[in-house]
A and B are shown apart, each in its own frame.
Chain A
Amino acid sequence: MTFIAPVKFAIDLLAVLLLALGIKGLSKVRSARDANRLAAIAMILAAFGVLLNSQGTIGISINSWVWIIGGTLIGGLLGALTAKRVPMTAMPEIVALFNGCGGMSSLLVALGVALFPSEEGADGVVGELIRNFSIVVSLFVGAITFSGSIVAMAKLQGWLSTPSWTQSKARHFFNILCAVIALIGGIYLLIDGQNGLFLIVVASSLLGIGVTLPIGGADMPVVISLLNSYSGVAAAAAGFVVGSQLLIVAGAMVGAAGLILTQVMCDGMNRSLVSVLFGGALGTSSVSSGGGGGEYTNITSCSPEECALTLEAAERVVIVPGYGLAVAQAQHTLREVTRVLESADIEVTYAIHPVAGRMPGHMNVLLAEADVPYEQLKEMDVINPEFPATDVVLVLGANDVVNPQAKNDQTSPLYGMPVLDVQEARTVFVVKRGMSAGYSGIKNDLFDLQNTSMVFGDAKKVLGDLLLELKELGVGSKG
């Protein structure tokens, strides 16, 4: 069966090409969906290539088939069910969960190979050293990816809070200790290929937890993106372990692309990767520095009725959606409100901060779910010059991204973060559940401004009331 090897080779090449085109296509709106399918096809091809090649050369025993099909069915079904059921608001959590499982998979492969080395043996001393090294990397990165992703998911779901000890210096000590133990385990494993195996797994799992646990919600997307990059690295390492070039290419591509994406996200929040990873939660550092603290002195609150009256008289309205909107599941009600406004010839646009929601682009997905036309979503750089010519800004569940402190107050921890200049508009309504601080725990100067009114209440409830008031006023019905 000599033709098998070239066929497998051709399949692998095609798979890599499709994967690369897939990642490329995913970065453009028009081609994204097809690109995603392309990548999926590439994966099926790649799996088919491995099966074909093995069947043709060493053969696949019935026993192996049973375990392959078993694993495929269970994992695949659970994955499909999870993907169908998960609400769009929980997207960051679910990406973290999937990602952790990818890391776990690489870890298990390395574990299996290390526990039961095949008789073939690696070629020479150097070959064995490289193989052991890839096992170490695969275990280390795989374990960090898994434990870190699970912690990230649990924190985003609200299952885990930030324990106080993780904010102290002790956590650095804990993390360094874990890293050192993992390193020792790694060296052991390098030497004889068996010892230190579980030392690495346990220590790097703990390291993953120790690093992720102190990170505050606002920085979590960056961490998930970074962990996503790690899982690519873990896959590439697993590729070295089992000797698959396809795996190495794909893993390396995802790892590198993930790193770029992480950098892009950091830029959007004006945070450096280092400060995300070692700075701990944004909130606690700000409380101690005291920058921008203090009480609110000039809060104006108003009812949905007053808000509706102002909206009725407006010509240009800008909506600033935030995570609070998503949590309240209010995007559909919002869409109805904007439909009414539009039918009264009021121009409505949405100002999307790069990190609105919990993840860059998350808000776009949520609004798309509610049928908001894509053209009405404006990015920060586009919308900021338009605020002075705006009559009403409706801030829904957003906080830090509209805090003028980021521009004016050099002592503020937010200083330098790009924000939406909503205070430039004539009237600003902030819909908020209470006076609690945003993610960063920082006072928002916007609320104190003359032209800002607070509408207290759950976003969905307020929007519902607003909708009724607008209809009562007859907005939109005359035209």
Chain B
Amino acid sequence: MSFFSEALWVLLLGSLLGLELIGKVPPTLHTPLMSGANAISGITMLAALTLIIKSGDNLPLLIIGSISLGFALFNVIGGFLVTDRMLAMFSRKKTRK
């Protein structure tokens, strides 16, 4: 029970933090922010990693874990790169000025 009670606190505080983090966002940044947050939601790759590590030699579980990891990394790496591409366009002009 101890893990879950702690975990529920973590869930509560994490949610509150998330609500507070982005108060005012200029419309310019909505798309990049969504894309960046989307990349972070690929953090579920940690769960996939854990699943693979704990699977022992259970082949079906290894396969499920590996596919899950693949999906998550597609999300994470693609998400961060695409966000960076978008943001690079904003910063480029800033340096030129």
Q: Footprint of B on A, CB under 8 Å? A: 19-20, 22-24, 26-29, 32-33, 35-37, 39-40, 43, 46-47, 50-51, 54, 58, 60-61, 63-64, 67-68, 70-72, 74-76, 78-80, 82-84, 86, 88, 91-92, 94-95, 98-99, 101-102, 104-106, 108-109, 111-113, 115-116, 118, 123-124, 126-127, 130-131, 224-225, 228, 231-232, 234-236, 238-261, 264-265, 268, 352, 354, 359-362, 364-365, 368-369, 371, 373-374, 377, 379
Please tell me if the beta carbons of A22 and B36 are within 8 angstroms of each other in the complex.
yes
Please tell me if the beta carbons of B86 and A104 are within 8 angstroms of each other in the complex.
no
Within the complex, which residue of A46, A92, A116 is in contact with B61, where a contact is CB–CB below 8 Å?
A116
Q: When chains A and B are docked, how far (Å) is the Cα of A8 from the Cα of B62?
A: 24
Quick one: which of A28, A86, A108, A360 has the most chain B CB within 10 A?
A108
Residues of A within 8 A of B83 (CB): 26, 36
Chain A: minimal CB distance from B50 (Å): 5
Chain B: minimal CB distance from A233 (Å): 9
Please tell me if the beta carbons of A54 and B69 are within 8 angstroms of each other in the complex.
no
Within the complex, which residue of B16, B42, B68, B73 is in contact with A112, where a contact is CB–CB below 8 Å?
B68
Residues of A within 8 A of B71 (CB): 75, 101-102, 104-105, 108
Please tell me if the beta carbons of B82 and A94 are within 8 angstroms of each other in the complex.
yes
Closest A residue by C-beta to B40: A254
Please tell me if the beta carbons of A252 and B18 are within 8 angstroms of each other in the complex.
yes
Within the complex, which residue of B18, B19, B41 is in contact with A99, where a contact is CB–CB below 8 Å?
B41
Quick one: which of B10, B32, B38, B44 has the most chain A CB within 10 A?
B44
CB neighbors of A among B43-66 (8 A): 43-58, 60-66
Q: When chains A and B are docked, how far (Å) is the Cα of A264 from the Cα of B49?
A: 34
Given known A-B contacts A94-B82, A116-B55, A251-B44, A23 and B73 have beta carbons under 8 A apart: no
Chain B: minimal CB distance from A38 (Å): 10
Seed contacts A68-B52, A228-B37, A361-B28; 12 additional CB < 8 Å A-B pairs? A26-B33, A27-B25, A39-B80, A50-B53, A76-B77, A108-B48, A108-B65, A243-B3, A248-B7, A252-B17, A255-B15, A261-B33
Please tell me if the beta carbons of A251 and B14 are within 8 angstroms of each other in the complex.
yes
Within the complex, which residue of A24, A102, A112, A364 is in contact with B41, where a contact is CB–CB below 8 Å?
A102
